[in-house]
């Protein structure tokens, strides 16, 4: 993946969490990818975040993890109104 993050809104088929490595694999970048909804921490988002952190932890080359939110807001917090 490139160093320039996507700015498109994710469709229902796009992942809520993006994972990429940079700097020859030593940096893992985990991106919450629901900017239209301010990257809410729904149960599905938290499950995908957990999978991404496990993936980074299991990679012996990763030394740094960056967690970011796509769009202008990092995260609006826990999503109380969403069933997912």
Give 67's strand partners: 30
**Residue 21, in any domain of the structure:** yes
Express each pLDDT in 50-70 by its tens digit. 999 999 999 999 999 999 999
**Residue 54, in any domain of the structure:** yes
- Looking at the whole model, is its pTM more than 0.85? no
**Residue 76, in any domain of the structure:** no
**Residue 25, in any domain of the structure:** yes
**Residue 7, in any domain of the structure:** no
- Does residue 12 register a pLDDT over 80? no
**Residue 3, in any domain of the structure:** no
**Residue 8, in any domain of the structure:** no
At 24, which CATH number?
Answer: 3.30.300.220
Based on the structure, what is the number of domains in the chain? Answer: 1
Domain containing 45: what range?
17-69
Sequential DSSP letters for 39-84: --B-HHHHHHHHHHHHHHHH-TT--EEEEEESSS-S---B-TT---
What is the C-alpha separation between 40 and 64, in angstroms, rounded? 24
* pLDDT score recorded for residue 14: 79
């Amino acid at each position: 993946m490139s160093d320039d993050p996507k700015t498109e809104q994710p469709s229902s088929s796009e992942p809520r969490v993006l994972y990429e490595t940079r700097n020859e694999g030593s940096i893992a970048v985990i991106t919450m990818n629901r900017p239209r909804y301010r990257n809410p921490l729904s149960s599905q988002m938290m499950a995908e975040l957990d999978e991404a952190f496990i993936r980074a932890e299991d990679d012996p080359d990763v030394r740094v993890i960056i967690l970011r939110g796509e769009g202008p807001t990092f995260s609006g917090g826990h999503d109380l109104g969403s069933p997912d």
